Amino acid sequence: MKSDSIVVLGSLHYDIYIQSKSIPKIGETVLADNWFPKLGGKGANQAVALRKEFKNVKFISAIGDDIFSKFLLQKLNEHKVSADYISKIKGDSGVSVAISNEAGDYSAVVVSGVNTKIPEKFLCDSKLWEGVSSLMIQNEISEEINALAAQEAKKRSIKVFLNAAPAKNIENLIKFVDILLVNEIEAQQISNDYSNSFESIAKKLSKKISKVIITLGSKGVIACEKNRTPIHIKGHHVDVKSAHGAGDYFAAKFLLEFLKNNTFENAISVANKKTADFISA
Amino acid sequence: MNNLSILGIFVADLAFFGKIPKVGETILGKEFVVGPGGKGSNQSVAAGKAGASVEFITKVGKDDYGKMALKTYKETNVGTKNVFESDEHSTGVAAILLDKETGQNAISVVPGAAGALTIKDIDNAKDTIINSSIFLTQLEAPMDVVSHALKIAKENNVTTILNPAPAAKLEREIFPLVDYFTPNETEASFYIDGEINTVDDAKKYAQSILDLGVKNVLITLGEKGAYFFNQDDSHFEPALDLTNQVVDTSGAGDAFNGAFATALCEGRPIVEAIKFANCFAGISTTRIGTANSMPTRAEIDKMM
Cα-to-chain-centroid distance, residue A35: 23
* Closest residue, chain B, to A32 (C-alpha): B110
Q: Are strands B11-17 and B31-37 parallel, antiparallel or unpaired?
A: antiparallel
Reported as a single tens digit per residue, the pLDDT across B204-237 is 999 999 999 999 999 999 999 999 999 999 999 9
Q: Which range, of A83-92, B87-96, B240-249, B295-304, averages the lowest pLDDT? A: B240-249
Give strand pairing partners of A263: none
Looking at CA atoms only, how far is residue A248 from chain B in angstroms? 14
Question: Which pLDDT does position A103 carry in this prediction?
Answer: 86
- Any idea what the Cα angle at residue B87 is, between residues B82 and B90, rounded to 5°? 90
Question: Which pLDDT does position A38 carry in this prediction?
Answer: 93
Percent of chain B's residues with pLDDT above 70: 100
* Cβ-proximal residues to A216 (8 Å cutoff; 6+ apart), any chain: A183, A184, A198, A222, A235
Region A32-43: what's the mean pLDDT? 93
- CB of A257 closer than 8 Å to CB of A270: yes
Residue B26 binned pLDDT confidence (cut-offs 50, 70, 90): confident
Reported as a single tens digit per residue, the pLDDT across B179-197 is 999 999 999 999 998 999 9
* Cβ-proximal residues to A226 (8 Å cutoff; 6+ apart), any chain: A206, A207, A209, A210, A211
A111's enclosing H/E stretch is: strand A106-111
Of B128, B154, B120, B142, the closest CA to residue B44 belongs to B128
Residue A3 binned pLDDT confidence (cut-offs 50, 70, 90): low
Q: With contacts defined as CB-CB under 8 Å, which chain B residues touch A32?
A: 108-110
Q: With contacts defined as CB-CB under 8 Å, which chain A residues touch B21?
A: 107-109
Question: Which pLDDT does position B24 carry in this prediction?
Answer: 78
A60's enclosing H/E stretch is: strand A57-63
Cβ–Cβ contact A1 with B under 8 A: no
CB nearest A105 (choices: B23, B106, B110): B23
Of A175, A139, A176, A137, the closest CA to residue A156 belongs to A176
Question: Is 50 exceeded by the pLDDT of residue A158?
Answer: yes
Between A103 and B79, the higher pLDDT residue: B79
Dist. CA B111–CA B91, nearest whole Å: 8
- Report chain A's mean pLDDT, rounded to a whole number: 93
A62's enclosing H/E stretch is: strand A57-63
Region B280-293: what's the mean pLDDT? 90
Question: Is 70 exceeded by the pLDDT of residue A48?
Answer: yes
Contact A29 B107 (CB under 8 A): yes
Dist. CA B296–CA B292, nearest whole Å: 11
- CB of B216 closer than 8 Å to CB of B208: no
Question: Is 50 exceeded by the pLDDT of residue A1?
Answer: no
Cβ–Cβ contact B103 with A under 8 A: no
Cβ–Cβ contact B142 with A under 8 A: no
Helix axes A184-191, A198-205, angle to 10 degrees: 50
Question: Is 50 exceeded by the pLDDT of residue B1?
Answer: no
Question: Which pLDDT does position A106 carry in this prediction?
Answer: 86
Cα-to-chain-centroid distance, residue A63: 18
Helix axes A246-261, A264-280, angle to 10 degrees: 150
Dist. CA A14–CA A19, nearest whole Å: 16
Specify the pTM: 0.80
Question: Is 70 exceeded by the pLDDT of residue A87?
Answer: yes
Between A218 and B238, the higher pLDDT residue: B238
B91's enclosing H/E stretch is: strand B91-99
Cβ–Cβ contact B198 with A under 8 A: no
Question: Which pLDDT does position A28 carry in this prediction?
Answer: 82
Question: Is 70 exceeded by the pLDDT of residue B36?
Answer: yes
Task: Tell me which of B121, B179, B201, B254 is the catalytic residue.
Answer: B254
- The full DSSP string for B219-235 is EE-GGGEEEEE-SS-EE
